[in-house]
Amino acid sequence: MRRAFWVLAVIWAAAAPWASAQMPDARTMSGIPMPSADVPAGTIVVRVVKGDVTNNVPNHPVELQAGQQTLTATTDADGRATFSGLPSGTHAHAITTVDGERLESDHLEVGGSAGLRVLLVAGVGAAGGRAEAPAGPAVEGDVVFGGDSRLQIEFDDDQVRVFYLLEIVNRTNAPVTPRAELSFTLPDDATAPAVLEESSTRAQLRDRTVFLTGPFAPGVTPVQIAFVLAGSRTARDLAQALPAPWEQVQVIVSNVGRVQMTSAQFSSNRVMPGENHSFHLGTGPALAAGTPLRVTLSGLPVRSRAGRTVALAMAILVLSIGAWTAYGGHRKSAAAARRDELEARRQKLMGDLARVETQRRTAHTPALHQRRQQLVDQLERVYGELDQQVAGAAAP
């Protein structure tokens, strides 16, 4: 079937405008990479049209996510944006938005002696779009997790944050209802699981089980899940099976300290440079539905708990002294009443801080960071005044 699209690409590149009436439905070609001998190796040409292949969209920005880089080019008068000089083996993904409609290509891989052409079609519910509400009757069929699906692992102090950035791909022209229910369960030690904002509403989370409900529109349906691995360990084993075929395994891990990643299912495992820091990139061949991907992480960062333990012991000591002083007599003084007020304030602030920390496990927003800092500052003032009261009571 792909060869047929390559032939169509040659026809499309050479055909005169009068031949457009003979062209197939543009939706069947949208987003599909087509090797072309007249495009230099290491080059991807993205053409953007609206409605049909004769209605070019000129002077329009197009993004190409190439590895960890995001490149931008503007379409010319023929609706073509050209990205050249891409290294062989680069995995890429073309994206643009036309009149509010987001269009995306399939997985693109640079290689061989020829470049790639890809067509993105707007205005017709193209296969490259991200329609949440598919139009038309659904048919029973199959979907896959596209080659751009990946697992991404990052570290926040000694916390291991895992992101499933998946793409359900339907390459037909009609909405598809899978023949069997699509669901999968997150690892046993996954805590604070959440569906990210960029995810489709067709992904639902109950406890640690992710349910993917069809029908799925033609094109790409994003599924993005995040969670934190509980506990603090220097090594971990991560296993995850997906309910549909995964076209190409991709796992990305931040290269922090002595972190290493291994898997018998990787055909390639290397350290790659990034914009802010390097990362481990493990890739492998397709996995059948229900086949677990098994990855071992070692050399994970673990923060010493000694300082936290000492601080907690000191806090308990201060509170114990405060409680003894407050309730040592039958009648409370003004200082004891103030101490009660401070302790109640401290208790509330600690509860607020715990809720903010839970939210920050899945979302590092400036607002949450600012709120956390405010709570910490207020707690420091409360503890400072409590310390002064204890010191004053101990003075002769």
Residue 246, pLDDT > 90, answer: yes
Per residue in 68-78, pLDDT (tens digit) is: 788 999 999 98
Residue 327, pLDDT > 80, answer: no
pLDDT range class, residue 238, cuts 50, 70, 90: very high
User: 75, 56 in Cβ contact below 8 A?
Assistant: yes
Per residue in 342-382, pLDDT (tens digit) is: 888 877 877 777 776 777 666 667 777 777 778 777 877 87
Give me the pLDDT at residue 293, please. 96
Residue 82, pLDDT > 90, answer: yes
- From 116-130, 192-206, 288-302, the region with the lowest mean pLDDT: 116-130
Answer positive or negative: Cα dihedral of 329, 335, 340, 346: negative
Pairing of strands 203-206, 108-109: unpaired
Residue 314: its H or E element: helix 306-327
What is the pTM assigned to this prediction? 0.48
Give me the pLDDT at residue 126, please. 41
- From 28-32, 58-62, 265-269, the region with the lowest mean pLDDT: 28-32
Per residue in 166-183, pLDDT (tens digit) is: 999 998 888 898 888 899
Give me the pLDDT at residue 60, please. 95
